Structure 1
Amino acid sequence: MTLAFPNPSRSLDTARNAVRFTGYDGMFEVAFLVDIGALVNSAPELFMSEPSETACLSAFDARRTSIYAAAAKAYSNGRRAPYILTAADIR
């Protein structure tokens, strides 16, 4: 099966300093985290001080296609959940 992202929901995980989202491989849910540092690199104007939840989720939405591509690539390299994506993973 291939990884799909039918559910566009995402949330800020302040404990992990990341945005959490899920993908699905058939009936299996796959957890992903995008490090806030990766989002800061993509939208530095949103993070002039402490990143807010709104700024983080907006930055995620702006890079959603790239994030999903990075998530699919990370997933294809082997199963380990949660997958943590960094700035190096997202182009």
Structure 2
Amino acid sequence: MKLSFPNVSRSYDARRKWIRFWAYDNALEVPFFLAADALTKLVPGASDDEVSLLTVFDQHRDRIFRAAERVYSRNSKGSYFLKATDMA
């Protein structure tokens, strides 16, 4: 299933160390959580503070969305967690 990503909002949860973003499967909103360490592996040497992580997310948005589509196509559940290994 092809997801759409019209909502450019994303937020960082420092306690859980992930970035939350949303996709849509037709009218169904699908929440995703991306582990912060996945972003620091995309850009070695990147800082793990909120501003830096959100910047890396924005710079690699297309790659992250492709990974989200792969993970979504494998499962049917309420929310999805992306790890560094999903970014390959």
What TM-score do you get using the length of structure 2 for normalisation? 0.91
Task: Verify: 1:58 aligned to 2:48, yes or no.
Answer: no
Taking every aligned residue pair, what percent have the same amino acid on both sides?
A: 39
CA displacement at 1:81 relative to structure 2: 2.8
Gaps of 5+ in 1: none
Gaps of 5+ in 2: none
In structure 2, what is the Cα distance between the partners aligned to 1:66 and 1:84?
15
CA displacement at 1:6 relative to structure 2: 0.7
Task: Verify: 1:75 aligned to 2:72, yes or no.
Answer: yes
Runs of 4+ with >2 A deviation: none
The code of the aligned residue for 1:14 comes to: A
Give SS of 1:31's match. strand
CA displacement at 1:13 relative to structure 2: 1.4
CA RMSD of aligned residues (A): 1.2
CA displacement at 1:16 relative to structure 2: 1.8
Aligned pair count reads 88
